[in-house]
Structure 1
Amino acid sequence: MYVRSPEFERYAERIAQVTDATSRLNVLPFSDTEARAELLAVVFGGPLPESVTIYPPFYTEHGLATTFGKNVFVNQGCTFMDGAGITIGDNVMIAPRVSLITGGHPLPLAERREYTATAPIVIEDDVWIGAAAVVTQGVTIGAGSVVAAGAVVTRDVSARTLVAGVPARMVKSID
């Protein structure tokens, strides 16, 4: 039998609150911008900056650990598992079905049973992340970079570079 700490219980309550809000968000008529803004405020712990646009459906585990810069666009079907924190800079475009995942598990079986390893994701200014890309824990994507569609980013991306593939590798510098 598992013993749940008060901290775990608070975390589970927050996840339930966010899951309820995103469930309602994801079935709203798209034209109901007022209700969408209210539900996103519940998810993220307050109103988003006016220049941030998130198209549902949208999924997140926590919400409170994500911060947005100015002029951020998040397209449909994105998932932000933000337990360790996600920081998104200014002028960032995130294409459909992108996953930003701050948690993972160690490879050894005994360790996998014991804990989740987490590390924050940082997306600097002027980044574009292509459709269905995955960014994993602990990654920083440098300013002005592009992550190609379908890439799996497991390591930091230098500023002003294009990365692609599984795992993502630098394709070229962007002037």
Structure 2
Amino acid sequence: MNEKEKMLAGLPFDPRDPVLVGYRLGAKSVCHRFNMADPADLEDRMMLLAGLLRLKGAAHIEPNFFCDYGFNIYIGDGFYSNHNLTILDVCRVDIGSKVMFGPNVLLSGATHPVDPVERMSNEYGAPIKIGDNSWLGGNVVVLPGITIGNNCVVGAGSVVTRDLPDNVVAAGNPCRVIRSV
């Protein structure tokens, strides 16, 4: 099994693998061009990301945008993200249709071993899924392996450490369900 296959399977992998480094540098180059593009050229700017991400329809992402690989990010129709979206996509990240993100959202599919010796040589990850019609407020952090259901609202500044079911409002650090929608 090569390092990319290990990464996609959520197994420990070596991020210094030359193939993975090449993918990351390519993604970072596209993100750089997107972030430096004229903000008035909406279509041209999003076309840069269309070759990197798996877009399933219309999407709008405000600059700045950062990701590790891009090819693991699947975005549904009608997606909107405010400024400074960061997606660490060492595993698949699914974002549903008609989803909205406030500024400074972080989806972190990547993590590292607790043991300091292991941490020096590998990392691993777990997939993230955001359901349709959900809204993540500003400065929300979603940790590896989390699923957020359909029609959810996650309050600003929340750190989502466990799955959220459909149709809830949740907030806090750690994020907890406050009420039903």
TM over 0.5: yes
Residue identity over aligned pairs, in percent, reads 33
Question: How far apart in 1 are the matches of 2:3 and 2:99?
Answer: 37
Contact 1:18 1:42 in 2 (8 A): no
TM-score normalized by the length of structure 1: 0.89
1:161 equivalent in alignment to 2:178: no
Question: How far apart in 1 are the matches of 2:42 and 2:121?
Answer: 42
Q: 88-97 vs 133-142, which deviates more?
A: 88-97
Secondary structure of 2:97's counterpart equals coil
Q: 1:150 to 1:66 in 2, by over 3 A?
A: same
Q: Which aligned pairs between 1:1-175 and structure 2 lie closer than 5 A?
A: 8-44=17-53, 48-174=55-181
TM-score normalized by the length of structure 2: 0.86
- 1:28 offset after TM fit, Å? 1.3
Which runs of structure 1 show a deviation greater than 4 angstroms over 4 or more consecutive aligned residues? none
The number of residues matched between the two structures is 168
- 1:21 offset after TM fit, Å? 1.2
Question: How far apart in 2 are the matches of 1:122 and 1:49?
Answer: 15
Superposed CA RMSD: 1.7
- 1:104 offset after TM fit, Å? 0.7
Question: How far apart in 1 are the matches of 2:51 and 2:28?
Answer: 10
Structure with the bigger RCO (C-alpha within 8 Å, sep 6+) is 2
Question: How far apart in 1 are the matches of 2:43 and 2:175?
Answer: 38
Secondary structure of 2:45's counterpart equals helix
Gaps of 5+ in 2: 5-16
Question: How far apart in 1 are the matches of 2:122 and 2:3?
Answer: 17
